[in-house]
Amino acid sequence: MKYVYKLLVLLMVSFVSCNQPCNCDQGKTLGKYVLVIHGGAGTILKKNMKPEVEKQYRDKLAEVLKAGEDILKKGGSSLDAVTKCITMMENSPLFNAGKGSVFDAQGKNEMDASIMNGEDLSAGAVASVHTIKNPILAARAVMEHSPHVLLISKGAEQFAARQGLEIVKPSYFFTEKRWKSYLKVKAKQAVGEKHGTVGAVALDKQGNLAAGTSTGGMTYKMMGRVGDSPIIGAGTYADNTSCAVSCTGHGEYFIRNVVAYDIGALMKYGQLSLKEAANFVILDKLKKQGGDGGLIAVDHTGHFTMTFNTSGMYRAYATSEGYNGVFIYANEENIKPQKKKMK
């Protein structure tokens, strides 16, 4: 048995060594689409959620999903669908991104975002911005209109302004709810809720993958702390030959484990399925380290996953086959999704 195993490994090595570490089907999946969105993973329990608040989240997720799906249905790009969904979530006070961003230790809103195009591996990101209404649009502008991937702070803000993006006063990001959280955490002198991010991944009818992520960070975080959301490879990754991934969770763990890229690496080099890769990274590797969070991902064949090791993750999906759903708590969806139309 030992000999057979050794032979298998040797054969595998010789196969992989021929400059072809990927044996996945690189052919594009044409004509079908998949869209998955998330509004953050964390301690989200039904017993702590008011029914009217739960309804607000479900309604907003359904509205965002529909807007993104409309783009894909008409043959629009995964990049446009991802951008649209994240922009809408940034404009809602419900999520910790854009308008609903939390306050840092200085009582400021400091935001990060990133986006990646699986077709050509182009990517853009901004970190530590205070005046850009939609950080995801700035990330996309960095990708499409600069030779760079990551711009931070004032450099990113000046670039966004030159690109004609909407610049707002920092006070635009003030919300009563987040300010109260800030005061509460400040009184305890402790870092607050570590989670809260929005993201989207999509496969379009042309077979192209895209992923994006946006966040307001952690309540009462140290000035200048940057998490995984604007880090290509950690919080966001997309590659047409494997998958598109957007993460949410305790950012430091996602950076150290290069989570978004790792999912595709496990598929391309390790021959795991998307689901196996996501389960291994989120439910095993990260959980053992104490890294709370989750991810959404779609692969180049249209398989998708919404995997998390917390009590909940705001999430929704829609596919060209008519499957769709909006979920908040763990174990809410069926493993085999029912073909149903959204209300």
Per-residue b or e along 276-315, where b marks 16 or more CB atoms closer than 10 Å to that residue's CB: ebbbbbbeeebeeeebbbbbbbbbbbbebbbbbbbbbbbb
Q: Is 107 in the site for its own copies (CB under 8 A)?
A: no
In sequence order, what E strands does 66-186 have?
111-117, 122-129, 150-152
Complex with its own copies: residue 46 or 256, whichever CB lies closer: 256
Q: Is 284 in the site for its own copies (CB under 8 A)?
A: yes
Q: Which of 145, 154, 184, 340 binds its own copies (CB under 8 A)?
A: 154
Q: Residue 87 class from Cβ within 10 Å (0-12 exposed, 13-18 middle, 19+ buried)?
A: buried
Q: Please provide residue 325's backbone torsions phi and psi, each rounded to the nearest 5 degrees.
A: 180, 155
At position 139, the amino acid (one-letter code) is: A
Letters for 220-249 (x = contact with its own copies by CB under 8 A, - = none) are --xxxxxx---xxxx--x------------
Only segment of 45-53, 63-71, 173-181, 262-270 that touches its own copies (CB under 8 A): 262-270
The catalytic residue among 197, 219, 236, 301 is 197
Q: Give Rg (Cα) of the chain.
A: 20
Size of the site for its own copies (CB under 8 A): 59
Q: Is 49 in the site for its own copies (CB under 8 A)?
A: no
Q: Pick from 68, 31, 321, 67: which is nearest to 205 by CA?
A: 31
Give residue for tokens 């999906």.
317
197 is known as an active-site residue: yes
Q: Is 159 in the site for its own copies (CB under 8 A)?
A: yes
Q: Please provide residue 199's backbone torsions phi and psi, each rounded to the nearest 5 degrees.
A: -165, 165
Complex with its own copies: residue 49 or 272, whichever CB lies closer: 272
- Gap between the Cα atoms of 138 and 149, Å rounded: 11
Q: Is 9 in the site for its own copies (CB under 8 A)?
A: yes
Only segment of 169-177, 204-212, 217-225, 294-302 that touches its own copies (CB under 8 A): 217-225
Residue numbers at the binding site for its own copies (CB under 8 A): 8-9, 11-13, 16-17, 19, 21, 23, 121-123, 127-128, 146-156, 158-159, 191, 222-227, 231-234, 237, 251-252, 255-258, 261-262, 265-266, 268-272, 276, 280, 284, 289
Catalytic residues, which ones?
197
